Structure 1
Amino acid sequence: MSIPLILTSLLTTSAVLAFPNVRRAPQVYDACINANDIALTFDDGPYIYLRSISDQFTAAGAKATFYMNGNNWDCIYNADRISDVKYAYAAGHMIGSHTWSHADLTTLSTAQIQDGMFRMEEAFSRILGIKPAFMRPPFGSYNDNIQSIAAARGQSLALWDWDTGDADGNTTAQSEALYNDVISAKVKNALILEHETEETTANTLVPFAIKLFQGKGYNVIPTFGRYYFSLTIPLARDDGPMPRCQPLPGHRSCTATNRVLDVRWNTRSWRSLRRLHRMRNRHTRLLEYDHFRPD
């Protein structure tokens, strides 16, 4: 399956993405580059508002960026969430990693960081047949070790330069004021943080922001250009059932304590995944890295 490439707001290097197994300096993006580009980005999903947000962008001829977790507000392997992720992907929106459980990576060991990133990559491999080229660290928290780990896995870090505060208790009016501040500041571009999990964001902020920015002549587009390493096909469905997440005790905001995650594996599915990551084709080469096998 070929991935359409969309000309978007941040510069990437074609050679790097064509050969992701080549180690490179870790990169961190916290702003757009091109004039008149606005990237509206949504963290912490997939959740029940994903389709609605996707449809609103599509109807406006715009594109969104979604940084997803594996087991945060919901489990990415739940049937509805699988369907929603595929839906947003098919609509041409950018999908990136937000790690598996939304843990603050700076508090974890190297093995734990690798494991959380790998589980998210495995989910995207199974569901979409892709490996994301970008990871947004939870809370925007990272250090040199995290940058190096991400770079070794072929991923850059994606941050933001404007925050709506929609998951931190801001009212709708306060978040809308942030969008108006972007306009008032007469910025040439903006990389804005929202959260897919907030009902007011999906139902009020999204239509407000799209209308406002498009009305001022901005392009509302994904954060990056080439944003996947294509695996060509999703992981074969005949190697056992999808992994399952530990049941969630309830929804939370991104500032709450992280929950323990649990994915059950069987030997057959693990071996199949290892085979998948050894695949090569003439279009792309996959990054090889140490795997941290779940307990």
Structure 2
Amino acid sequence: MVLALTLAMACLAVSTALARPSLEMRQRAQVISHCIVPGTAALTFDDGPYEYMYEITSMLRAHNVSATFFFNGENYGCIYSPENARRVKHAYDQGHQIASHTWSHADLTALSLDKISNEMQRVDKAIEKITGATPSFIRPPYGLYNEKVLRVAAARRQSIVLWDLDSGDSLNINISAQKSRYDQTLRRHPKTILALNHEVYPSTVHSVLPYAIKQLHSAGYRMVTVAECAGLSPYHSRSKPAHRDSSWHC
């Protein structure tokens, strides 16, 4: 009788543990919508890697500016292609922060837990293979997230990054209007700025970015990565990049 009762209690404990979400999956990821280090501005670029990478990094280097690139796995081309892998590695080697923008730029709020996890895991693995670093930040496409996204990101020990200044380049507003968004923000002179831009638009690269850098410098901001402006580590780990093999494909 005692043995039977003990076995029954053990089975109940196991079934309860299986039904209960893990501690990590019950936690919610930190959401970063602004910087916390006074006097900093973080320029961020979504949707790459793309062909304007070298122009962007050249401009950033000329002004001694660090930035953050949120990369997709397969959006504007495959991240594993030789050209795009070189762009990712170049940005990393230049000292810029590399982070996740998910694999396919899907609306994560419309996906199941498993599919959300897959969107995050696949691009993280690609970034790790190419650079050797495992990112600790993710920006959900369109800035959309829900409870499931927060739980999966927490389980992956990643912070979700939004913004407090949208340049508007993805909204197809004209160059003057994009510059005006920076001007309007700078007239308020907030303590910090976290700016959303996109790597894939020529107007951003050739017109808005140089203007933004000049205005932010003139206003006295120090342009840094998201990790720096949030006082956090950009990566969970860093090691040597992997050698290209048959797994490098989309």
The TM-score with structure 2 as length reference comes to 0.85
Does residue 29 of structure 1 match 2:32?
Answer: yes
| Residue 236 of structure 2, aligned match among 229, 242, 245 | 229
Match of 1:117 in 2: 120
Does residue 127 of structure 1 match 2:134?
Answer: no
Question: Structure 1: how far apart are the matches of 2:154 and 2:187?
Answer: 36
Structure 2: stretches of 5+ with no match in the other structure: 1-22
State which drifts further: 214-223 or 23-32.
Answer: 23-32
| Residue 145 of structure 2, aligned match among 142, 153, 157 | 142
Amino acid at match of 2:239: T
Higher helix share: 2
State which drifts further: 95-104 or 51-60.
Answer: 51-60
Question: Structure 1: how far apart are the matches of 2:171 and 2:124?
Answer: 28
How big is the shift at 1:243? 2.8
After the TM superposition, which residues 210-229 of structure 1 pair with which residues of structure 2 at under 5 Å, given as runs? 210-225=213-228, 226-229=233-236
Question: Structure 2: how far apart are the matches of 1:80 and 1:98?
Answer: 19
Match of 1:59 in 2: 62
Structure showing greater radius of gyration is: 2
Higher strand share: 2
Q: Is this contact kept in 1: 2:132–2:241, CA < 8 A? A: yes
Structure 1: stretches of 5+ with no match in the other structure: 1-21, 246-295
- SS of residue paired to 1:224: helix
After the TM superposition, which residues 1-295 of structure 1 pair with which residues of structure 2 at under 5 Å, given as runs? 23=24, 25-225=28-228, 226-237=233-244, 240-245=245-250
Q: Is this contact kept in 2: 1:52–1:202, CA < 8 A? A: yes
Could you tell me the percent identity over the aligned residues? 40
Number of matched residues? 222
Amino acid at match of 1:45: G
How big is the shift at 1:241? 2.2
Question: Structure 1: how far apart are the matches of 2:86 and 2:113?
Answer: 32
- SS of residue paired to 2:105: coil
The TM-score with structure 1 as length reference comes to 0.73
The runs of at least 4 consecutive aligned structure 1 residues that moved more than 6 Å come to none
Q: Is this contact kept in 1: 2:28–2:147, CA < 8 A? A: no
Question: Structure 2: how far apart are the matches of 1:195 and 1:176?
Answer: 14
Question: Structure 1: how far apart are the matches of 2:134 and 2:40?
Answer: 25
How big is the shift at 1:234? 2.0
